Amino acid sequence: MRRSTPKLNARPSRADFLVITGLSGAGKSQAIHAVEDLGYYCVDNLPVALLPELHALHRREEALAKVAVVVDIREREFLTAFPDVYARLRASADMPPALIFLEASPAALHRRFSETRRPHPLGPDEPISDAIALERRKMRRIRAMADEIVDTSDLTVHELRQVFLGLSHDRKTRATLVLTFESFGFKHGLPLGADLVFDVRFLPNPHFVPTLRPQTGRDKPVADFLEAQPATSQLLSRLTSFLKFLVPHYVAEGKSYLTVAIGCTGGRHRSVYIAEALKRALGGSKGVTARVRHRDAGREKVTP
């Protein structure tokens, strides 16, 4: 995997106002989605003439505390207007922007245009290899102004997201995974969108204890019953250990949502208890927001 090249300018590139540009097909659309996930207010294909106005709003409006904007050769006046406009913004005494330039190898760009079948902005009638070479030449001056140059030839979308995480001004920012523990009953079908499914029907069933039947796994008597079973503590220990190993890898890959489904027969007792216990065990994990959802716990009215 190719990493971003070293900074070309002495000023730090960590900023709350990111200007993203680069070669067509180098991944600017994916980049703007990545920084949007990091909490930036994002604008794609902004006219260069509006950059100073947006930067001024950024400096005074709390709602625009973090801004990322894509400007590129799609605008007719971009090549001639951008260098002077950006130079003036960089001269700001406070809150200067940072310029991120995305590029890729000719082979990678050619492949991407072939796969998407989109015309190159410099001319749909030109051979794609000629258009790519021409844009690279035209963009040399702007490339030389960049704080960071990122070669996306071999980067996945997740790796590109990590690059922009590193450029974020807030060094405490971390990728956040929303981890949902969803209880359900197998007799009502598997939940849609589950990433991992665990079957806990081997645990003793509180349904067959008349006083526990109308309660759920969130009630103390049901919890006491299940905690008295040796298999319950062994299951929780193994599942907790497995998920504590697995979840950080999902966070590192940039995954935003992970649903762990826990199933028992009716989705009322065992699965509810285990889902709640796992949420407590994983809730404090770094980079994770844990929540619990009980799909079937209130589906049927049960009497003792």
| Domain regions of the chain by residue span | 17-167, 177-294
Q: What is the pLDDT of residue 94?
A: 73
- Rounded to an integer, what distance in angstroms lies between the CA atom of residue 75 and that of residue 88? 19
Q: How confident is the model at residue 73 (pLDDT cuts 50, 70, 90)?
A: very high
CB 254 within 8 A of CB 162: yes
Q: How far is the first Cα of the chain from the last one, in angstroms, to the nearest whole number?
A: 61
Q: What is the pLDDT of residue 91?
A: 86
Looking at every residue in the chain, the average pLDDT score rounds to: 86
pLDDT of 206: 96
Cα 2 to chain centroid distance, Å, stands at 20
Average of per-residue pLDDT across 223-229 = 97
Highest CATH level, class, for 17-167: alpha beta
Q: Is 213 a residue whose pLDDT tops 60? A: yes
Which of 297, 45, 289, 65 is closest to 174 using CA atoms? 289
pTM over 0.75: no
Q: Which of 267, 290, 275, 293 is closest to 190 using CA atoms?
A: 267
Contact predicate 254/177, CB 8 Å: no
* Tens-place pLDDT, residues 164-209: 766 654 444 445 788 999 999 999 999 888 999 999 999 999 999 9
Could you give the percent of the chain with pLDDT greater than 90?
54
Residues 6 or more apart in contact with residue 57 via CB below 8 angstroms: 64
